[in-house]
Amino acid sequence: MPDHDFPGWHGTTILGVQKNGKVVIGGDGQVSLGQTVIKGSARKVRRLSPGGFDVVAGFAGSTADAFTLLERLETKLQATPGQLGRAAVELAKDWRTDKYLQKLEAMLIVSDGAALFVITGAGDVLEPEYGVAAIGSGGNYALAAARALIDTDLDAEAIVRKSMAIAAEICVYTNTHLTLETIPA
């Protein structure tokens, strides 16, 4: 089937919020193919523990591609224990230069509790402003909501829950079935 005929996998909203000594990354559970919801309870946020070093990662995009990237990130973390920033940069360099990895269509939000990064296939390792990062089809909605809530008395988990609910009300490719992972600083 030519690419222009394929309805395309859409969806997901992943949001990371860093506040008061912890990071919460949350993701919705919807997987859509065209206008059809294929699954409503996918788990797009995972905890990685290479060598006893905890990292939380959320992904948007192709699931198989994201799992490939998560495996590569784990390998980089094993080579540079406790250095998420360095591992993220090494992954982004490989992703940008390796002919196989260049074809992968996914994005990651990762955190070790101290840092929060967005990693893209364009070679970007972005540390967001205000301790808020979002990716996916509903990412901009969740990002705007979280930015509006970051200076309130709400903790990181409450901000993620409320922002994801707002994104799910606006983005048809996002639902309210959440997976949350928390990691302390």
The answer, yes or no, to whether residue 1 has pLDDT greater than 70, is: no
Give the per-residue pLDDT at 10: 54
* CA–CA separation, 50 and 58 (whole Å): 16
pLDDT tens across 14-50, in order?
A: 999 999 999 999 999 998 888 899 999 999 999 998 7
Give the per-residue pLDDT at 7: 44
- The more confident residue out of 4 and 155 is 155
Half-sphere exposure of 4 (CA within 13 A, CB side): 0
Give the per-residue pLDDT at 2: 47
Give the per-residue pLDDT at 4: 47
Give domain limits for the chain.
3-184
Most confident of 27-36, 119-128, 167-176: 167-176
The answer, yes or no, to whether residue 130 has pLDDT greater than 90, is: yes
The answer, yes or no, to whether residue 71 has pLDDT greater than 80, is: yes
Read off the pTM: 0.92
Give the per-residue pLDDT at 129: 92
The percent of residues in the chain predicted with pLDDT above 70, rounded, is 95
- The more confident residue out of 159 and 49 is 159
Average pLDDT over residues 55-60: 96
- The more confident residue out of 49 and 90 is 90
Report yes or no: 60 and 44 within 8 Å, Cβ to Cβ: yes
Give the per-residue pLDDT at 26: 98
Residue positions annotated with a catalytic role: 12
Give the per-residue pLDDT at 9: 47
> CATH for 3-184?
3.60.20.10
Give the per-residue pLDDT at 153: 98
* CA–CA separation, 46 and 3 (whole Å): 30
Mean pLDDT of the chain, nearest integer = 90
The percent of residues in the chain predicted with pLDDT above 90, rounded, is 70
* CA–CA separation, 51 and 34 (whole Å): 40
